[in-house]
């Protein structure tokens, strides 16, 4: 999980390192936009080999939710 | 399965024309500076060519074709097929290909047709022209692809307006019994047809008194029903889902690996999509040229425009290409071919 959050810092410049936690609601991150959703989807595809979609990001809330989804789809 | 090989036809030359006029996304007043920086970082699009009112896609394509015919000293009477791939036609009818035929003084025994496709249009257009040429007596064919896309987005729609640029291109194909030809993998999914759509103006939703009424869809997205509507996240999901398997199927069909190709040229919609596909394929970024920075998403023209603006004018040795277009329809497809002495003529501006 920590690794997942570190990867998010590395691809989304607008998020201040140290401000995210597993229970952070990504949609409440300041200035969160659809562009950030695309960056997150691309990072998960490249770094975890897993496809998450815009709909997944709409129906889930926290970073832990998304990480659990990645683990589930990776199996 | 639309996975097939067309022998005996070769791509010989490409020419392109764009409007001289351009817009800079850094000056787009409906985004904050932070949003502009994020847009440019994600899409790669800084500038876009924007046609003056009254300039058509066929004007750009004809200018490009005139250069090609003159510089290569081609007899127009030898052209046996003209295909015009565009979603910005001169008239509702007749087809624009026929108007171009007359402008270029092509012969009456030249078959002409339009194809209504956008971002996948270059792969589809190559498949139609090469297939028809491989089955008969046509020695030379012209494939024109392009769009004046900038008339469709609403300036107050930040989700579409900063993305599109205008361009028209022409490709010359020649019958050549010694040529390896082209391999194609072409796909479609009409279930998501409304992911990229202009809702009003066709027979399904004829123009009416509400067609030009602007509606705020969400903050920063105002448009009417004759404007382009684009579900960016859904289209991104589509690209992430379909492009890589499509390319891999074609590689497998050809019994090749990606590193056997000199160039991989993807449709130019979004830098993030192309970077991601390149990383997943483990393909060298230096062999994935781009035209996004200065031209934006130029619809079906994006692949040949990228070849003209990013490759040397004459590729003197045999080069192998893998191209992939994807977008409106939804429609996507890859094509692979090799070309000797491919001529990429200088970019024209009008």
Q: What is the CATH number of the domain that holds A70?
A: 1.10.1200.10
Domains annotated on chain B, with CATH:
1-192+229-350 (3.40.47.10)
The average pLDDT across B299-306 equals: 98
Cβ-count burial B158-196 (b if 16+ within 10 Å, e if not): bbbbbbbbbbbbbbbbbbbeebbbbbbbbbeeeeeeebb
How many angstroms separate the CA of residue B233 from the nearest CA in chain A? 6
pTM of the complete model: 0.95
Instruction: Provide the angle, in degrees to the nearest 10, between the axes of the packed helices A34-48 and B33-43.
Output: 30
Question: In chain B, whose CA is at the least distance from the CA of A37?
Answer: B233
Residue A29 has pLDDT above 90, yes or no: no
Interface of B with A in 123-162 (CB under 8 A): 159
The average pLDDT across B113-118 equals: 98
Confidence of residue B196 (pLDDT cuts 50, 70, 90): very high
Of B206, B202, B197, B203, give the one whose Cα is nearest residue B228: B197
Number of domains, chain A: 1
CB < 8 Å to A51, chain B: 240-241
Is residue B304 within 8 A of residue B268, CB to CB? The reply is no
Question: In chain B, whose CA is at the least distance from the CA of A48?
Answer: B280
In DSSP terms, B14 is beta-bridged to B171, B344
Dump pLDDT digits (tens) for B260-294: 999 999 999 999 999 999 999 999 999 999 999 99
Our separate counts of H helices and E strands in chain B read 8, 19
B275 and A42 within 8 Å at the Cβ level: the answer is: yes
Confidence of residue B190 (pLDDT cuts 50, 70, 90): very high
Is residue B114 within 8 A of residue B84, CB to CB? The reply is yes
Confidence of residue B314 (pLDDT cuts 50, 70, 90): low
Confidence of residue B311 (pLDDT cuts 50, 70, 90): confident
Of B7, B12, B18, give the one whose Cα is nearest residue B306: B18
Strands B319-327 and B263-266: parallel
* pLDDT at residue number B77: 96
- The partner residue sitting opposite B240, judged by closest CB among A36, A39, A51, is A51
How many angstroms separate the CA of residue B333 from the nearest CA in chain A? 20
Phi-psi region of A18 (alpha: psi -120 to 50; beta: other; left: phi over 0): left
Residue B315 has pLDDT above 90, yes or no: no
Dump pLDDT digits (tens) for B212-251: 999 999 989 999 999 999 999 999 999 999 999 999 999 9
B280 and A45 within 8 Å at the Cβ level: the answer is: yes
Of B142, B165, B143, give the one whose Cα is nearest residue B152: B165
Dump pLDDT digits (tens) for B8-67: 999 999 999 999 999 999 999 999 999 999 999 999 999 999 999 999 999 999 999 999
Confidence of residue A27 (pLDDT cuts 50, 70, 90): confident
The average pLDDT across B112-124 equals: 98
Residue A13 has pLDDT above 90, yes or no: no
B276 and A42 within 8 Å at the Cβ level: the answer is: yes
Residue B309 has pLDDT above 90, yes or no: yes
Confidence of residue A5 (pLDDT cuts 50, 70, 90): very high
Distance from C-alpha of B324 to C-alpha of B246, rounded to nearest angstrom: 8
The single-letter DSSP state of residue B31 is: S
Give yes or no for a cis peptide into B94 (omega within 30° of 0). yes
Dump pLDDT digits (tens) for B67-83: 999 999 999 999 999 99
Q: Above pLDDT 90, what percent of chain B?
A: 94
Of A52, A49, A28, give the one whose Cα is nearest residue A39: A52
How many angstroms separate the CA of residue B38 from the nearest CA in chain A? 7
* pLDDT at residue number A16: 85
Is residue B152 within 8 A of residue B50, CB to CB? The reply is no
Residue B293's Cβ-count burial label (10 Å; 0-12, 13-18, 19+) is middle
Q: What's the token pair of residue B104?
A: 């270029």
Q: Above pLDDT 70, what percent of chain B?
A: 99
The domain containing residue A60 runs over which residues?
A: 2-74
* pLDDT at residue number A19: 87
Complex ipTM over 0.90: yes
* pLDDT at residue number A15: 86
B233 and A51 within 8 Å at the Cβ level: the answer is: no
How many angstroms separate the CA of residue A56 from the nearest CA in chain B? 11
Q: Above pLDDT 90, what percent of chain A?
A: 57
């Amino acid at each position: 999980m920590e690794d997942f959050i570190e990867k998010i810092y590395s691809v989304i410049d607008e998020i201040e390192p140290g401000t995210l936690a597993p229970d952070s609601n990504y949609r409440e991150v300041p200035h969160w936009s659809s562009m950030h959703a695309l960056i997150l989807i691309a990072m998960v595809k490249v770094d975890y080999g897993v496809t998450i979609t815009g709909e997944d990001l709409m129906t889930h809330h926290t970073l832990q939710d998304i990480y659990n989804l990645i683990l589930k789809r990776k199996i | 399965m639309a996975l097939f090989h067309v022998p005996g036809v070769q791509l010989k030359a490409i020419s392109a024309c764009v409007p001289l006029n351009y817009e800079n996304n850094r000056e787009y007043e409906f985004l904050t500076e932070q949003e502009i920086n994020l847009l440019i970082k994600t899409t790669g699009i800084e500038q876009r060519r924007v046609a003056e009112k009254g300039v058509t896609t066929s004007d750009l394509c004809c200018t490009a074709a005139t250069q090609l015919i003159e510089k290569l000293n081609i007899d127009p009477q030898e052209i046996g097929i003209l295909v015009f791939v565009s979603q910005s036609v001169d008239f509702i009818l007749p087809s624009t290909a026929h108007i171009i035929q007359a402008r270029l003084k092509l012969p009456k025994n030249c078959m002409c047709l339009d194809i209504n496709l956008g971002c996948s249009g270059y792969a589809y257009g190559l498949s139609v022209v090469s297939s028809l040429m491989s089955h008969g007596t046509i020695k030379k064919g012209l494939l024109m692809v392009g769009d004046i896309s900038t008339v469709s987005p609403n300036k107050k729609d930040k989700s579409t307006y900063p993305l599109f640029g205008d361009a028209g291109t022409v490709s010359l194909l020649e019958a050549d019994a010694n040529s390896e030809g082209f391999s194609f993998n072409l796909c479609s999914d009409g279930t998501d047809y409304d992911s990229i759509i202009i809702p009003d103006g066709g027979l399904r939703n004829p123009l009416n008194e509400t067609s030009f009424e602007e509606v705020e869809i969400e903050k920063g997205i105002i448009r009417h029903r004759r404007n382009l509507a684009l579900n960016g996240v859904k289209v991104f999901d589509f690209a992430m889902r379909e492009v890589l398997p499509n390319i891999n199927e074609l590689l497998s069909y050809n019994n090749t690996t990606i590193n056997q190709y000199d160039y991989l040229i993807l449709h130019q919609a979004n830098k993030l999509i192309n970077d991601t596909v390149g990383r997943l394929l483990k393909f060298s970024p230096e062999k994935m040229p781009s035209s996004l920075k200065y031209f934006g998403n130029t619809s079906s023209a994006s692949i040949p425009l990228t070849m003209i603006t990013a490759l040397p004018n004459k590729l003197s040795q045999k080069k192998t290409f893998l191209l992939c277009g994807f977008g409106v329809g939804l429609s996507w497809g890859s094509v692979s071919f090799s070309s000797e002495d491919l001529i990429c003529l200088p970019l024209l501006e009008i």
